[in-house]
Structures are given as C-alpha cells and as structure tokens.
Amino acid sequence: MKAVWSYWRSRWAAFAHDLLSIPVAWIGAYWLRFNLGKIPAEILSQALFILPWVILFQTIAFWVFGLYRGVWRFASVPDAIRIVKAIAVGSLMTLLAVFLMTRLENLPRSVIPLYSMLLMGILGGSRFVYRWYKDKGYLSKTSQRVLIVGAGRAGESLVRDLLRDTKSNYTPIAFVDDDLQKQGKELHGIRVVGTCEDIPEVVKRFALDMILIALPSAKAREMRRVAGICESTTLAVRTLPGISDLVSGLVSVKNLREISLEDLLGRDPVTLDWQAINVALMDKVVLVSGGGGSIGAELSRQVVNLNPKKLIIVENSEYNLFCVQQEFIEKFQRKNVQIEYHLMDVCDISAIHRLVQHYQPQVIFHAAAYKHVPLLEPQIRAAAKNNILGTYSLAQAAINCGAEKFVLVSTDKAVNPTNVMGATKRIAELVCQYFNAQQKTFFVTVRFGNVLGSRGSVVETFQRQLENGGPITVTHPDVTRYFMTIQEASQLILQALAIGKGGELFVLDMGEPIKISYMAEQMIRLAGNKEEDIRIEYTGLRPGEKLFEELFHTREQLGATSHNKILKARHRYMDHQQFELSIIALQHHVSECNEEGIFQLIKELVPELTSTRQSPVQTQSAANQEEILV
C-alpha cells in the first residue's frame, strides 16, 4: 500500500510541476516577444483569456503522449521525444483554437514558437537536473571504484545500468578499450583512458578497487589475454556472460559474474542449421542411450526442445536416471513431448532388442560408454563388453527395427590408442562402419575430445582438490587435451545428424589443445587463491595416458562439410566377414571371462594400439617371479 501511494504521489507531483510550467512558459513567451519589457494591456488581456485553453489542450497532450509513464530518475531520450511530441500537438491545438475564436487577433506570431521552446526547456531541463542531482548523490556515496574493460555496446549498457541502479555498490570511474578511435572519448561521462595493456597503470592512477570485463563477444584467446593482464593487478575481476547467453541482448549489473573456466577455454559461438536439425528430429521417435551421462543428458535436453514425437532415455545408473527424470519433469512438463525413462544396460541384448522393437525409434543417439582411461586399463572385459558389444547390440537392434539413423558418440582417444578405452571406442567405430554397409540404417560416427564440466572430468577433479586445500595433481607439465563445452559438443552432434547421409566419420573441430597445467593454474586463480597457496603436484602419466591426443588417423583423409566446425574423415578399409567373426569370438571370450583372448582380439582389430598394458598371463608371471625372489 505504501509503494502504491508513493507511486501515485510521484506521478501527481510531476503532473503538478508540468501544469504550473504551462502558464510560466505562456506568459514568458509574451515577455520575450516584447524584449523583457512591459506587455501591452490589450495583448496581455488576450493572453490571459487564451491561457485556460492552452492549459487544457497542453494537459490533454501530456496525458495522451504518456509523459507520466516514465520516471524522472531515469529520464532519457524516449522521454525527451514524448515531451517534444506533446508540446508540438498542444501548441497546434492552441493555435487552431485561437484562430477559430479570435482569428489570431492580438496574438504575436512569434509567441507560439517561443512558448514551445520555453516549455520544452522547462520540462526537459527540470528532468535533466533532477536526474543529474540523483546521479551526483549516487556517485558520491561510498562504493567500489571500478574499471570497465570494453567501451562497446555492452560496456555502455553496463555503465548506464550502474549509474541508474542506486543499490549497486559499483562506481564506474574509467574505460579501457583496444579500439584506438575510442581513446579519449566519453560514454555517460566516463572517459576511455587507455587500452587493455594499460590496465595495471590505470588501476594505480585512479586507485581502483575492481575490474569489470564487458566483452561478451570476445573469443577465448582474447579473454585469456585480458584475464591475464587483469590478474597482474591482484584486483577482483567480474565479467559478463558470452553473447550467446545474453539472449535478450540487454546488459545489466545483475549479469556480472566471476570469470569461469569456460570463458578462458571456450570457443567461438557455434552457428547451426536449426532448420535442417528440426526436420531431422521433429515428430520422430528418438532414443538416447547413456541419457544420464553428461553428453547423453544434454543431447536429451536439446532433442526435447526440437519437438520430437517421443524421447526414450536409456541409462544403466539408477541415480543418474532419477536425476534426469526429476530435472525433465520440472523443466519440460509443459512440452508436448512424451518422455520415457528406462533403467537398462545396453549389454542386456534381449532387453535392448525388445525395447527397440516396442518403440520403433527412427533416430538413435548412442552415448553410453565407459570412458575413464586409468580405471578401464585393468578392466578390459568390462570395457570390451560395454563399449564394443553394447554398441553392437544396439546397432543390431536399430537395423532390425528399421531405424533411419544411428549416431555414435566417439572420442579422440580412438585415434592411435594407447589404452584399452580408446581401443574399444575405435572398435565401436568399426561396428558402425560394418553395419552401415548393410544399407538398412544410416550409421554416423561423431568423434571429439574432452568435454568441460562432464562428470569425472579433470575440471571436476581439480575442483574437489581445491575444496580440500590442494595439492592439485597434474600427470605431466606438457600434457595437453582438446576441450569443448557440453552444449557445443551436443549441438554439433545434432548438426552431424542433419548432414549425415550414412557411413560418415565426422570429426569436430576442437580448436587449439590446452595444457592441463594451464587449466590448473587458472582454476587456482579463479578460486581466489595464489599458486603459492595451492601447490601443483606432477605425478607422472598414468597407465594408458599419452601427452597429447589426436583427432584423426594419418590414413583417414579429411574433407570439409557444409559446416565449418565439422570435418569428414574417410573410413579405412575393413574386411567385413573377418570383422563379424572377430565379434563372435569376442562375445565368446567375454562370456568366458578370457581377458587374454579379449586383449589379443582387440590388438588384431586395432593394430595401431600401443597399450603398455600387460596381459593377465604376464601380470601373473611377474607376480610369481617376485614371490620367488622374496
């Protein structure tokens, strides 16, 4: 009730001010007309006779053009335009009325223009002075003195919001921008005083307390450069989200957040052919295996927004499936999409075939896989069963039900693998190549590197170690990996689905590889720590790991596609009959728990495998030898 009263009180106060301004401007116009001297009696009498009509017409124009919808505290260009329109219409109405009543007798021709200019000056000037007074009071309060990096549209919008927000604890003091044409210019009274390289000197010169980065469209390399310069000042740094996250295009102080790892390691926003993707999925029955994992869950989110007829999520972890189900119930309950949740292992052949036959999915995304390299190195049977036979089982089911497309989510570790995990994913790629030759279902393979923020990823590990006070463990100072965000990877998988015609091995453009040690250093800084506070400990490469990953084999000739972020690799030759026999043998070895047989078969199917893994026989022999020596 108090807020409502305050609102109406302010509106009536503004109206009363404007109402009193009309006679002041009207009589003032006559006074100016006669050079600030005495106004002749007959003309003054005529002016007072017309005044009530002027007040009436001008008041009507004020209300019609909405002068009291705005707030004086935030008066801006749109308010000035409304004032001009209202005064122009009110003046014309007054002129027409006077003409009809007196044929403009005793009305000097310059009075109406003078009246309009005076009234415009009084109404606009009073609003400007009021806003200046409020802003002056705002700027004089105790708050953090901040530097804005970026004098573009985002920086201008941010400063405008900071100046308006009386509750904000930030006072903009200066801009820096690398555009030399902006040097020395002002935005809302805040001057551009240098480039990004000048940030440390600017911070000292103006005794600043914080840095706000307003570069939402900056590329990751540029963000790393700017963040590095800001870090040298030891001040707190905040940034705006990327332009793709600022959906509305509006920038405000509420958008500010701490710099994230995605800001530093992220890449250019992906442009997708959503129309083609929509055609590929709309009103289709879609199945996602591994739908509780990082990629599978994000794929499912993207698919739901593309209005499929039905989405079937398959996951073998009860907890992950429960989490996805709860999230989707909250987010997508208004969507007209049927979503089915199935707790199922892709290695359960009879259950998978029955599920696929029942729902008859037209599109299948196979994201279910074991992925942790050191863990899988001694677990060769589990890796082969899940990553190879699970893929074979689901692919066979897709063929049997006549699915249109089957998309396998693969990994860069499948290229020249040095570990069990990579080798099993390479054979999963061969499974899709094998089944695509049957020309009943189009099989598409999508290969990419690490995903930022995925469960069990290096980022998650580093975060846990930071929370425990360190140290952060890195295997080797020179180890590098390719990274992209979960959203980008999922969207590019959808794009690959749309452009795939069957048999393609798509390789996503992963950009530049990133040093893991650099990630560790950045995470320490982003957490507000110094490197002397949190130690980085190098532990040596783990079993199956290599210093750098590759995205394609030398015998896979790369070619361009219709999308600049997706490359197409040519499949290497395979003997389909021999491959089928190998899969039968692999099924036998898995059922017999014959790990030596599994390892030898994997070596035959992936001759480029250079795993240092010892076979079970070698391991037992070494153990016996050690026992004898003891």
The mean pLDDT value for 411-420 works out to: 88
User: In terms of DSSP bridges, do strands 338-343 and 450-452 run parallel, antiparallel, or are they unpaired?
Assistant: unpaired
Q: Give the bridge partners for 171, in sequence order.
A: 145
CB 567 within 8 A of CB 502: no
CB 347 within 8 A of CB 393: yes
The overall average pLDDT reported for the chain is 80
CB 583 within 8 A of CB 392: yes
Is the pLDDT assigned to residue 80 strictly greater than 80?
no
Closest among 403, 296, 273, 396 to 342, alpha carbons compared: 296
Domain 141-259 identical in fold to domain 274-451+483-510+550-605 = yes
pLDDT value at residue 630: 25
Name the CATH superfamily for 141-259. NAD(P)-binding Rossmann-like Domain (3.40.50.720)
Tell me which amino acid residue 522 is: Q
The mean pLDDT value for 601-622 works out to: 67
Is the pLDDT assigned to residue 235 strictly greater than 60?
yes
**List of E strands, 281-432:** 285-289, 310-315, 338-343, 363-366, 405-411
Residue-range domain boundaries for the chain: 2-136, 141-259, 274-451+483-510+550-605
pTM: 0.65
User: In terms of DSSP bridges, do strands 480-481 and 190-191 run parallel, antiparallel, or are they unpaired?
Assistant: unpaired
Is the pLDDT assigned to residue 332 strictly greater than 80?
yes
Rounded CA gap, 299 and 284, in Å? 15
Q: Give the bridge partners for 210, in sequence order.
A: 146, 236
CA–CA distances in Å: residue 141 to residues 42, 130, 174, 251: 55, 17, 17, 23
Rounded CA gap, 79 and 122, in Å? 14
CB 479 within 8 A of CB 290: no
Cis, bond preceding 471 (omega within 30 deg of 0): yes
What pLDDT digit, counting tens, does each position of 26-70 carry?
Answer: 887 878 777 777 777 778 787 788 888 888 888 888 777 776 655
pLDDT value at residue 335: 74
Of the ranges 164-173, 269-278, 583-592, 611-620, the best mean pLDDT one = 583-592
| Residue of higher predicted confidence among 83 and 134 | 83
| Residue of higher predicted confidence among 418 and 287 | 287
| Residue of higher predicted confidence among 301 and 219 | 301
pLDDT value at residue 431: 94
Task: Provide the pLDDT confidence category of residue 584 given band limits of 50, 70 and 90.
Answer: very high
Rounded CA gap, 36 and 512, in Å? 75
Is the pLDDT assigned to residue 629 strictly greater than 50?
no
Task: Provide the pLDDT confidence category of residue 397 given band limits of 50, 70 and 90.
Answer: very high
The mean pLDDT value for 398-424 works out to: 91
SS3 content of the chain, % helix, strand, coil (to 5): 50, 15, 35
Task: Output b/e per residue, 460-473; b: 16+ Cβ within 10 A.
Answer: eebbebbeeebebe
Is the pLDDT assigned to residue 15 strictly greater than 80?
no
515 as an active site residue: the answer is: no
Q: Report the half-sphere exposure of 521 (CA within 13 A, side-chain side).
A: 12
Cα dihedral angle (419, 410, 244, 333), rounded to 10 degrees?
-120
pLDDT value at residue 252: 55
CB 210 within 8 A of CB 146: yes
Q: Report the half-sphere exposure of 202 (CA within 13 A, side-chain side).
A: 24
Active-site entry in 413, 425, 565, 568: 413
Is the pLDDT assigned to residue 143 strictly greater than 50?
yes
Is the pLDDT assigned to residue 625 strictly greater than 50?
no
3-state class (DSSP) for residue 363: strand
CATH of 274-451+483-510+550-605, one of 3.30.470.20, 3.40.50.720, 3.40.50.10610, 3.30.300.30: 3.40.50.720
Task: Provide the pLDDT confidence category of residue 253 given band limits of 50, 70 and 90.
Answer: low
CB 300 within 8 A of CB 320: no
Is the pLDDT assigned to residue 486 strictly greater than 90?
no
Is the pLDDT assigned to residue 368 strictly greater than 80?
yes
CA–CA distances in Å: residue 48 to residues 27, 94, 107, 221: 8, 13, 11, 70
What pLDDT digit, counting tens, does each position of 84-116 carry?
Answer: 888 888 888 888 877 777 777 767 778 888 888
pLDDT value at residue 453: 65
Q: Kindly report the backbone phi and psi dihedral angles of residue 220, in degrees, each rounded to the nearest multiple of 5, phi listed first.
A: -60, -40
CB 55 within 8 A of CB 90: no
| Residue of higher predicted confidence among 389 and 552 | 389
What pLDDT digit, counting tens, does each position of 179-210 carry?
Answer: 888 888 878 778 889 899 999 999 998 888 88
pLDDT value at residue 132: 66
The contacts of residue 452 (CB under 8 Å, 6+ apart) are: 261, 262, 265, 266, 459, 483, 484, 485, 486
